[in-house]
């Protein structure tokens, strides 16, 4: 897959994940506090949609190449002298 198309597909999946998560949160809030008599079965499905949206978001980040941010922080944590625990260095 070409880099540009991977970025586009990743961004679309991340956008879909965000919409699904926000929609699930919104529906579950409306089902609990509103007078619309929304079915409770859908409210439980809305809570599940939050997790499905998060999975879509993570899949889009993986396809689009956005997981490099976590790699950078892993690199800093393991190889930056300021972030390592050193028993000889006194704590502040």
- Residue 78 above 90 pLDDT? no
Give CA–CA dist 21/23, Å, rounded. 5
Q: What is the H or E stretch that residue 21 is in?
A: helix 3-33
Summarised one tens digit per residue, pLDDT across range 16-51 is: 999 999 999 998 888 888 887 878 778 788 889 999
- Residue 69 above 60 pLDDT? no
* Residue whose C-alpha is closest to residue 9's, from 60, 81, 67: 60
**For residue 90, what pLDDT is reported?**
57
**For residue 42, what pLDDT is reported?**
82
Give CA–CA dist 59/29, Å, rounded. 26
Calculate the average pLDDT of the chain: 81
Give CA–CA dist 4/30, Å, rounded. 39
Mean pLDDT over 49-65 rounds to 90
**For residue 82, what pLDDT is reported?**
64
DSSP line for 30-78: HHHH-SS---HHHHHHHHHHHHHHHHHHHHHHHHHTTTHHHHHHHHHHH
């Amino acid at each position: 897959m070409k880099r540009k198309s991977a970025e586009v597909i990743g961004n679309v999946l991340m956008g879909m994940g965000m919409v699904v998560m926000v929609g699930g949160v919104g529906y579950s809030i409306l089902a609990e506090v509103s007078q619309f008599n929304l079915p409770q079965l859908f409210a439980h499905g809305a809570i599940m949609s939050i997790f499905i949206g998060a999975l879509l978001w993570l899949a889009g980040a993986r396809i689009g190449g956005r997981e490099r941010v976590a790699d950078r922080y892993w690199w800093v944590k393991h190889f930056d002298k300021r972030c390592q625990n050193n028993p000889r260095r006194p704590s502040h």
